Structure 1
């Protein structure tokens, strides 16, 4: 399992929309479309930044590339 991160866009910290938690696991997520799948071009689909809430598991997707991720020290989670 990946280590938790905090995330921000500009000077705004991102919080979970469901539980208001501030720690996330991050990963890239493919935004597959039916047309691209049918033409066997799924590899060319756009990607998003996925933030998975550390507390409740709610998945947040951001197409914005300006997200900054900050490592969290072991005692902070």
Structure 2
């Protein structure tokens, strides 16, 4: 699958709530971490200092759900 975790899709709970896709209502997801780029840091070639977000990609439809704390 390349861009996703090597694991099989799984069910996840966030803050005590079962994660469900807002598009298709699927309940299993692949996970990945994405870096959030800002224009200023990109201009200064400091993208590596930007924050990251946890992404859950629905295994049924591919809709990506982003979470950051």
Which of 27, 50, 58 pairs up with 1:45? 50
Whole-angstrom distance in 1 between the partners of 2:35 and 2:60: 23
The alpha carbon displacement at 1:9 in A equals: 1.3
Gapped runs of 5+ residues in structure 1?
65-77
TM-score, scaled relative to structure 2: 0.86
Matched, 1:56 2:57: no
Matched, 1:9 2:5: no
Q: Indicate the structure with greater strand content.
A: 1
Matched, 1:27 2:32: yes
| Number of aligned residue pairs | 64
RCO higher in structure (CA 8 A, sep ≥6): 1
TM-score, scaled relative to structure 1: 0.78
CA RMSD of aligned residues (A): 0.9
Gapped runs of 5+ residues in structure 2?
none
* Structure 1 residue ranges, 4+ long, deviating more than 6 angstroms after superposition: none
